[in-house]
Amino acid sequence: MIIKEIIKRRSVRDFRSDNVNDNMILEIIKAAQFAPTGMNNRAIEFIIVKDKAIKEALHNIAGQSFLSAAPVLIVPIINGDKSITPVQDISIASTQMMLQITSLGLGTVWKHLQDSWVVKIKQLLNIPANFILINILPVGFPDTALPEHSDTEFNKNAIHYDKF
Amino acid sequence: MIIKEIIKRRSVRDFRSDNVNDNMILEIIKAAQFAPTGMNNRAIEFIIVKDKAIKEALHNIAGQSFLSAAPVLIVPIINGDKSITPVQDISIASTQMMLQITSLGLGTVWKHLQDSWVVKIKQLLNIPANFILINILPVGFPDTALPEHSDTEFNKNAIHYDKF
């Protein structure tokens, strides 16, 4: 039995305009904070963006309309002085958030950030120079129903035994 | 309500010697294959190591006894010609595996690999030069009971609104 949120999670890019309540956002952050971090650094912080003008600015920088259309954006960041595995740490925490978002009936998509956008976003959000960011998770109620994952996606050819 | 596997998942380093059945391993791989990958590259492959001599060799390279003590090791690898976000892709898939492992009553820990070990491991496991690896997940039944995550770990100070 695969975990139901793993089966249900799809990349959601179309959101309804309905607000997401603050307790849901805190549950999502909690799911991130229960994730393991390299050497237990616990150096991840979160910027919760709901301001319309800031969301518009992020949309302009990273060029995707769901950044302004989603009611909430979560921007995970990590102190690079405390983590020697910042990309792993943010990715693990973000995955737990994606599944928790799914569990709450909400949707998200991993928006990857190019390096040139990161420079502009750090300035826009006042993020200190020593913090690292790699992605944004827009959060909202999905506006489209997407199919669940199924065994048709299972690829046994990707499995090797003992050696490649 | 936080997803129960997120609450239960802890870093397990002590394993019973009991075997893990092959269907469980396939469920874990399936959970990884249902994870999103950058630009939908689906370029992750898996080496399942059960051979005692190979596990001993990995223990010698990466210096941790659970690598030989755990009944199964999962080594996720990704084709670097197909993924432009290999660390993220492996981390996301590994997180879904860690949670699925927990769901099955099994335990694991994210074993981070230093670059010098990766060179030796690629040679040991015949992994092609263009593949990238960053971690190993040992899998087995936990030999110790670890406490669940709780709200005492929730850190509101890590949350910023709209700007840092």
Which of B91, B154, B164 faces A91 most closely, judged by CB atoms? Answer: B91
Taking the alpha carbons of B5, B11, B17, B22 in that order, is the dihedral positive or negative?
Answer: positive
- pLDDT score at B122: 98
Q: Which residues touch B137 (CB under 8 Å, ≥6 apart)?
A: B73, B74, B75, B76, B94, B97, B98, B101, B108, B109, B110, B111
Q: What percent of chain A has pLDDT over 90?
A: 99
- pLDDT score at B79: 98
- pLDDT score at A100: 98
Encode pLDDT of A118-139 as tens digits.
999 999 999 999 999 999 999 9
CA A50 to chain centre: 15
SS3 A105: coil
- pLDDT score at B22: 96
- pLDDT score at A6: 98
Q: How confident is the model at residue B160 (pLDDT cuts 50, 70, 90)?
A: very high
- pLDDT score at B138: 98
Q: How confident is the model at residue A86 (pLDDT cuts 50, 70, 90)?
A: very high
CB A94 within 8 A of CB A53: no
The residue of A2, A54, A72 whose CB has the most chain B CBs within 10 angstroms, and thus the best one to mutate to test that interface, is A2
- pLDDT score at A87: 98
Domain ranges of chain A: 3-142
Query: In the structure encoding, which two tokens stand for residue A99, read together?
Result: 């599944």
Residues of A in contact with B27 (CB under 8 A): 1-2
Residues of A in contact with B87 (CB under 8 A): 87-88, 91
- pLDDT score at A55: 98
Name the DSSP class of B89. H
A119 touches B: beta carbon within 8 Å: no
Instruction: State how far the Cα of B110 lies from the Cα of A39, in Å rounded to an integer.
Output: 10
Dihedral angle, C-alpha A134, B136, A149, A105, nearest 10 °: -50
pTM (global) more than 0.90? yes
B14 touches A: beta carbon within 8 Å: no
Residues of A in contact with B31 (CB under 8 A): 2-3, 6
Encode pLDDT of B6-59 as tens digits.
999 999 999 999 999 999 999 999 999 999 999 999 999 999 999 999 999 999
In CATH, what is the architecture of A3-142? Answer: 3-Layer(aba) Sandwich (3.40)
For the residues A149-157, what does the mean pLDDT come to? Answer: 96
A29 touches B: beta carbon within 8 Å: yes
Encode pLDDT of B124-150 as tens digits.
999 999 999 999 999 999 999 999 999
Q: What percent of chain B has pLDDT over 90?
A: 99
Judge: B88–A91 Cβ closer than 8 Å, yes or no.
yes
Q: How confident is the model at residue A28 (pLDDT cuts 50, 70, 90)?
A: very high
Judge: A45–B160 Cβ closer than 8 Å, yes or no.
yes
Average pLDDT, chain B: 98
Instruction: State how far the Cα of A63 lies from the Cα of A72, in Å rounded to an integer.
Output: 17
Q: Which residues touch A84 (CB under 8 Å, ≥6 apart)?
A: A38, A39, A41
For the residues B94-121, what does the mean pLDDT come to? Answer: 98
B159 touches A: beta carbon within 8 Å: yes
